[in-house]
Structure 1
Amino acid sequence: MAARTKLTDEQRLDWLRLIRSDNVGPRTFRELINTYGGAKGALAALPALARRGGASRITLCPVEDAEAELKACHARGIDLIALGEPDYPQRLQTIDDAPPLLAVRGNIASLSRPLVAIVGSRNASAVGLKFAASLARDLGGAGYGIVSGLARGIDAAAHRASQETGTIAVLAGGQARIYPAEHEKLVDELIAQGAAVSEMPLAHEPRAHDFPRRNRLISGLSVGVVIVEAAKRSGSLITARMAGEQGREVFAVPGSPLDPRAEGTNGLLKQGATLVTEAADVINAIEPILGRGLPPVEEPEMEDLLGPGDEPDNDERSRIVALLGPSPITIDDLVRLSDTTPATVRVVLLELELAGRLERHGGGLVSLV
């Protein structure tokens, strides 16, 4: 997946088929591409990989379904931008579970600006809504795009206040299933200067577990994340945690100790988040980061890769599987303890994952389901 190159139409179709196939998530997609040299080779290898991992069958995305999705996206003015293409958001590309294909509707150029996320409570206070709007407006005026999750409350206030300068709405569902439905008009308005983005199939109805997935994109797109209001168990705190794991700056707006909506933000401040009372607090913290540029995107060394015919033998497979359990372990440890090559370990992990038996965590950790 060489950086900043455009896919052919045939490659884009293969990429869409691969990411829409059973048990293929962003990390698995990357492993498959790197192991088999492209999506076409990975699609051909999937059935055998899943079978060796213990699955009786695996459903590949049919060519007709992928073609229909591409056609529907085109009709709606949605671009499917591939990881590594020139228009793919560069900061998002640096996270280890970046979406292989990002569906973008609106002003694609708005994704190339420095972006700051503003998120918070759905059941926001009047003071919180006012501050979120003021902060978004001031940051937008200073040249920053605003990212949020289109939720009621703080998210919507941030989007509305930054419509004229450019705001990015990250969707939990597909582009044809805006949630909440009452914000469809807001999306139609914000795409003039900004954009709506999603990694999900066009007609995907968002479910509970899709919102944390969305949150990693909110933080992944951004230089930093500002939490305006968040209760103790707020979804916004998930975004803050993911921002920290991705190396993004975490900001929090202080609130009254008597307001449960400030319990989460006050807790973040105790943990070392940067206190925010005005846009200058955010700008002063992130300007040095922008000056340093982006870290390089790491790819595996070529000598670690296997071809489609190089399968692990039964002894190697058994040693690797025996080392796995419900507790996460690093892939490096698996390589060392199994006394085999990194490429062999990768293939066995792919087999297990495509059979629905493996879970990948951040930081190169894996565990059995």
Structure 2
Amino acid sequence: MIKQFDFKIDELSSMKKYPEELFYIGNTKLLSKKKVSIIGTRRPSSYTKEFTHKLATKLSSYGVCIVSGAAMGVDAISHAAAGVENTIAVVANGLDIKYPSVNKNLISNIEKNGLMISAYKEGEKARNYTFVLRNEIVVALGDILIVTEADLKSGSLTSVKYALAMKKKIYTLPHRLNESLGTQELVKNSLIQPIYDIDEFIASITNSEIKNDVNDEVLSFCSTNPTYDEAMRKYSNKIFEYELEGKIKIQDGKVIVL
């Protein structure tokens, strides 16, 4: 059921202009948690998929709520890795529309267990200008912003401008030469900071001692739905074993965790 906010969200006071209307489906109690916004390209590399997933999973395990924009790629990975009960998705259309359709199941699960937010009435379709406001809300909600991968002309760089204006700390993954050139340029200009050690990074922003990582590294990687070839290159000695044990399956050339 779509409802309209009848209270102000403090974090959104950092926006250029507070949204005229805000609608939601789900659990508004998530707004009171510590929040981190994670965004990035719709076509992430296998490296970005893996480490976006690790970041979101580990942050969520420390009680941090993950905020993103429900788009394909980095957004969807971030929401899913956080767990739908600990994520906030901000969309650029009316909440009666599940867009993009490829993420409709993820969006439905967030509606039931997490929180969906929109500044647009029912029936409003996503357009270029609606994404701009969506991006500003995503940035404003998070205590910090993480851009895991972005090219030079990526829309994610607009979000970086919002974060800089709001004086929020911005982080990224360290990338190889000629990859994620948008974030590389920002690192070169000392505008964002690379995360070289996930445990140290999380400890620094949560003031917590690091838990022993009991997660299965292979299953964590496979949950990003890599291609079979990617999985074999990385864990050739484990993929066949895990398939025989029924932990994963190969479908349409992709690895799926069961």
Q: TM-score, normalised by structure 2?
A: 0.75
2:172 paired with 1:265: no
Pair 1:244–1:280, CA change in 2 (3 A): farther
In 2, the alpha carbon distance for the partners of 1:217 and 1:111 equals 13
In 2, the alpha carbon distance for the partners of 1:240 and 1:284 equals 23
Q: CA deviation at 1:165?
A: 4.9
Alignment of 1:146-185 (within 5 A): 146-185=66-105
Q: Report the identity percentage.
A: 28
Structure 1 counterpart of 2:194, which letter? L
Secondary structure of residue in 2 paired with 1:197: strand
2:194 corresponds in structure 1 to: 275
Secondary structure of residue in 2 paired with 1:174: coil
Q: CA deviation at 1:277?
A: 3.3
Q: 1:103 aligns with which of 23, 34, 43?
A: 23
Q: CA deviation at 1:267?
A: 1.3
In 2, the alpha carbon distance for the partners of 1:202 and 1:282 equals 39
Pair 1:90–1:284, CA change in 2 (3 A): farther
**1:171·1:178 contact (CA, 8 Å) conserved in 2?**
no
Secondary structure of residue in 1 paired with 2:117: strand
In 1, the alpha carbon distance for the partners of 2:188 and 2:13 equals 31
Structure 2 counterpart of 1:268, which letter? L
Structure 2 counterpart of 1:274, which letter? Q
2:128 paired with 1:204: no
2:137 paired with 1:217: yes
Secondary structure of residue in 2 paired with 1:99: coil
Describe the superposition over 1:90-116 as per-residue Cα deviations: whole angstroms up to 9, x where unpaired. Answer: 212343312132111111111211110
2:222 corresponds in structure 1 to: none
Q: CA deviation at 1:120?
A: 0.7
**1:110·1:193 contact (CA, 8 Å) conserved in 2?**
no
**1:80·1:104 contact (CA, 8 Å) conserved in 2?**
yes
1:351 corresponds in structure 2 to: none
**Runs (5+) with no aligned partner, structure 2:** 208-258
Alignment of 1:48-87 (within 5 A): 77-82=1-6, 85=7
2:52 corresponds in structure 1 to: 132
In 1, the alpha carbon distance for the partners of 2:44 and 2:137 equals 22
In 2, the alpha carbon distance for the partners of 1:281 and 1:81 equals 37
**1:160·1:186 contact (CA, 8 Å) conserved in 2?**
yes
Structure 2 counterpart of 1:192, which letter? K
Secondary structure of residue in 1 paired with 2:163: helix
Secondary structure of residue in 2 paired with 1:251: strand
Describe the superposition over 1:13-42 as per-residue Cα deviations: whole angstroms up to 9, x where unpaired. Answer: xxxxxxxxxxxxxxxxxxxxxxxxxxxxxx
Q: CA deviation at 1:191?
A: 2.9
Describe the superposition over 1:141-179 as per-residue Cα deviations: whole angstroms up to 9, x where unpaired. Answer: 111100111111111111111125511111011101222
1:144 corresponds in structure 2 to: 64
In 2, the alpha carbon distance for the partners of 1:276 and 1:145 equals 19
In 1, the alpha carbon distance for the partners of 2:200 and 2:161 equals 20
In 2, the alpha carbon distance for the partners of 1:224 and 1:81 equals 23
2:112 paired with 1:112: no
Runs of 4+ in 1 over 3 A off after TM superposition: 277-288
**Runs (5+) with no aligned partner, structure 1:** 1-76, 289-369
Pair 1:230–1:193, CA change in 2 (3 A): same
